[in-house]
Amino acid sequence: MSRSASALYLHIPFCSRKCGYCDFNAYSGYKDGTKARYVEALCREIAAAGEGSALQTIFFGGGTPTNLEAPALVQILSTVKSHFTVASDAEISLEANPSDADLPYLETLRAAGFNRISFGVQTFNDSLLKLIDREHSGEAARQAIVHARAAGFENLSLDLMFGLPRQTVSDFERTLETALTLDIPHLSIYGLIVEEGTPFFARRERGKLPLPEESAEAAMFSRALEKTQAAGLARYEISNYARPGFACRHNRVYWRNEPYFGLGAGATGYLDGVRRVNIRRPSAYIDAALAGRELALETETLSAEETMGETMMLGLRLVEGVSLNDFAARFGVRAEQHWAPTIAELVAQGLLEHTPTHLRLTEPKGLFLASEAMAKFI
């Protein structure tokens, strides 16, 4: 088995506290000793996975990677470099909490080879930040950006959210304007999704989560496009906007349904047509990794039909859509013939556009109702 992929995802499952809307594999309250054992466990998994693959992108996600001390992140990256071939121009990203990012911390990471940083800002409005349980302030986010630039990070991204409790369209516009004034070359702008099992879900059930109306949410989604476009950032994926040359190379691998390694507690990997999800709880993952036991919690071998469906579903997230010739070269099947009735239905609904070379969602309707359209292919 080749187990070859050009992208590596590493999961750091720790956060200083759990946000009310979060359903990621993230935990607060772990002590330093456990975090040190987690780093050791993750390095073991990296050493076992690395053989023979040349990486173009490495992504530290979470959780909050910067919940670890900088030397721990450097140790993980250096373990990757010892066991994989890493391209000299590889994109090496990490997600970061603005409060963790002082200048010496960021300088250490930059010197070790990290070259892209994505701050979980969500909003610059302090009262909204409190409402969604974030610990940083708008000012801390601004400072983090200043420090990142001073440390030598040019490839900066911010995560922003819309549809937050009590958020108005003008609140959201102010946050966008702040981000654009700071001249950030990449923005990920997500609508809040209230997932079952989260504290926000329970609050909504009790009628205690004052979410904006759907029309206000739609207005925020439109403003994101208008304001980013006016500032020279192009939307290249439903939720992602970038200046030329700053689109996230790692996430493109997911959207093109290409293989990637996923290592760490709860991480998902996709290699040789097999999707594999690791043990989720950090303590169980640590015990298994350090004892040399199997780390996969579940594996799923995808059929050709499932792989084609997922390639369509993920590819439609990209504004450019799915290349019909690339699809045919990969699967030996023409997408426009395989899904002819579905495509005709979505085109008639104004959700999908069939160009001579691509299938893509329409803007703004198809992109706003993307999940509805994409679900038709799986």
Give the binding site for ligand SF4 (CB under 6 A).
Answer: 15, 18-19, 22, 24, 26, 62-64, 120
Give the residue with the Cβ less far from ligand SF4, 131 or 369.
131
Give the residue with the Cβ less far from ligand SF4, 98 or 259.
98
Sequential DSSP letters for 219-286 = HHHHHHHHHHHHTTPEEEETTEEE-TT-S-HHHHHHHTT--BEEESTT-EEEETTEEEEE--SHHHHH
Give the residue with the Cβ less far from ligand SF4, 22 or 369.
22
Q: Are 163 and 212 a contacting pair, CB within 8 Å?
A: yes
Q: Give the residue closest to ligand SF4 by C-beta.
A: 22
CB of 43 to ligand SF4, least distance (A): 22
CB of 99 to ligand SF4, least distance (A): 10
Q: Are 284 and 266 a contacting pair, CB within 8 Å?
A: no
Q: Are 141 and 122 a contacting pair, CB within 8 Å?
A: no
CB of 322 to ligand SF4, least distance (A): 30
Angle at 319 between CA 305 and CA 306, to 5 degrees: 10
C-alpha span between 354 and 250 (Å, rounded): 27
Question: How remote is the C-alpha of 219 from its chain's centroid?
Answer: 23
Give the residue with the Cβ less far from ligand SF4, 186 or 227.
186
CB of 157 to ligand SF4, least distance (A): 14
Taking alpha carbons only, the member of 25, 27, 7 closest to residue 16 is 27
Q: Are 187 and 158 a contacting pair, CB within 8 Å?
A: yes
CB of 307 to ligand SF4, least distance (A): 29
Give the residue with the Cβ less far from ligand SF4, 113 or 199.
199
| Structure-block tokens of residue 310 | 């997922």
- Neighbouring residues of 245: CB distance < 8 A, sequence distance ≥ 6: none
The kind and range of the H/E element at 176 are: helix 169-181
C-alpha span between 261 and 254 (Å, rounded): 11
Q: Are 359 and 324 a contacting pair, CB within 8 Å?
A: yes
CB of 159 to ligand SF4, least distance (A): 9
Neighbours of 36 (CB within 10 A): 15
Give the residue with the Cβ less far from ligand SF4, 62 or 366.
62
The kind and range of the H/E element at 156 are: strand 155-162
CB of 188 to ligand SF4, least distance (A): 12
Give the residue with the Cβ less far from ligand SF4, 50 or 62.
62
Give the residue with the Cβ less far from ligand SF4, 285 or 327.
285
The kind and range of the H/E element at 142 are: helix 138-151
C-alpha span between 150 and 35 (Å, rounded): 28
- Neighbouring residues of 63: CB distance < 8 A, sequence distance ≥ 6: 11, 12, 13, 14, 15, 24, 25, 26, 27
C-alpha span between 167 and 175 (Å, rounded): 11
Angle at 57 between CA 373 and CA 108, to 5 degrees: 125
Give the residue with the Cβ less far from ligand SF4, 29 or 52.
29
Give the residue with the Cβ less far from ligand SF4, 145 or 367.
145
